[in-house]
């Protein structure tokens, strides 16, 4: 079997940057396109950051489509308190060597799916606005999507409110549409991404690669500082690369099939992913939800992918 075709939907973001690099350095994946969404920072910043990361690793052949600048129904909330003013503070990397694709995110996804000889996995690791907008605009192309492997949600506590994880909190209506789409969905929520914390040992190992590894370690050093200040620990979770790993090596992620509903009405629990672990509601399952991660194998996979860049 050849590499799996994928599209990344990102809002860089330090862990988004690492997810892009991981996808580029993995021979098991064929990165067909990258789309950007407002989330960790505003859309101009996330688009600039995606272009810069791809330029850094020499992948200017990957088209980048700018997508939604705000959620479907709500005002945008960003996370500069975590990722810095640029959305990707830390080591300075060169400006982009190419421009965004003129088609924009939705049409870039549509054209990429049409042109691919086989179904494509979508890996959205920011708010799900672009994916929901695509499903609204092109329902006839749903069959061209092999799986949606998303980073977002939680079976337990949130990281933006007590109940909600950031990506789902920013655009819960979009998340609800994705979970209700009928497509195969793999959810890498905080329960598993917090098992991918990059402590000092992991950052030093990445630094030892040199080149791109040093950049990634520098990003994570900055990320560690904000995580220690905001959350009280200095091993920042590599949230978004877990969703990439779930496509690249599905065995790394232990999942349970269950029903996931997204709370959109309550101010108190906006964006909560209500995961029916024990099937008590009787609602049909709609997602494979991550419940465990092979941490050692994950970091080996990340190390090996970055070493190839």
> Does 239 qualify as catalytic in the annotation?
yes
| From 14, 83, 194, 239, active-site residue | 239
Going edge to edge, which strands form the sheet with 287-293? 64-66, 29-36, 4-10, 120-124, 145-151, 185-188, 287-293, 253-262, 273-276
Computed on alpha carbons and rounded to an integer, the radius of gyration of the chain in Å comes to 17
CA distance 211 to 148: 31
Q: Identify which of 164, 179, 165, 87 has the alpha carbon closest to the alpha carbon of residue 131.
A: 179
Q: Is the dihedral of CA 114, 111, 187, 31 positive or negative?
A: positive
Taking the C-alpha atoms of residue 97 and residue 276, their distance in angstroms, rounded to an integer, is: 46
Q: What does the angle CA 288 – CA 246 – CA 151 come to, to the nearest 5 degrees? A: 70
Catalytic residue numbers? Answer: 239
């Amino acid at each position: 079997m050849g590499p799996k075709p994928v599209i990344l939907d990102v809002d860089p973001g330090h862990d988004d940057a690492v997810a892009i690099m991981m996808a580029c350095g993995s021979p098991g994946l064929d990165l067909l396109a990258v789309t950007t969404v407002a989330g960790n920072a505003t859309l101009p910043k996330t688009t600039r950051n995606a272009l810069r990361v791809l330029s850094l690793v020499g992948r200017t052949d990957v088209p980048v489509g700018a997508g939604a600048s705000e959620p479907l129904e709500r005002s945008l909330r960003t996370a500069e308190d975590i990722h810095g003013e640029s959305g990707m503070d830390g080591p300075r990397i060169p400006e982009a060597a190419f421009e965004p694709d003129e088609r924009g995110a939705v049409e870039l996804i549509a054209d990429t799916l049409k042109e691919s000889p086989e179904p494509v996995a979508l890996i959205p690791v920011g708010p799900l606005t672009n994916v929901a907008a695509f499903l609204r605009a092109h329902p006839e192309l749903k069959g061209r999507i092999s799986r949606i492997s998303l980073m977002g949600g939680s079976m337990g506590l949130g990281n933006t409110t007590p109940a909600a994880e950031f990506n789902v909190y920013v655009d819960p209506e979009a998340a609800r549409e994705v979970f209700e789409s009928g497509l195969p969905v793999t959810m890498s929520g905080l329960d598993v991404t917090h098992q991918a914390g990059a402590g000092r040992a992991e950052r030093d190992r990445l630094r030892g690669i040199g080149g791109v590894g040093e950049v990634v370690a520098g990003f994570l050093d900055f990320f560690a500082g904000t995580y220690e200040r905001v959350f009280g620990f200095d091993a920042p979770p590599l949230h978004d690369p877990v969703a990439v790993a779930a496509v690249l090596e599905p065995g790394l992620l232990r999942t349970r099939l269950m029903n996931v509903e997204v709370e959109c009405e309550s101010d108190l629990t906006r964006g909560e992913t209500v995961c029916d672990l024990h099937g008590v509601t009787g609602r049909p399952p709609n997602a494979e939800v991550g419940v465990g991660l092979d941490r050692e194998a994950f970091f080996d996979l990340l190390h090996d992918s970055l070493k190839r860049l």
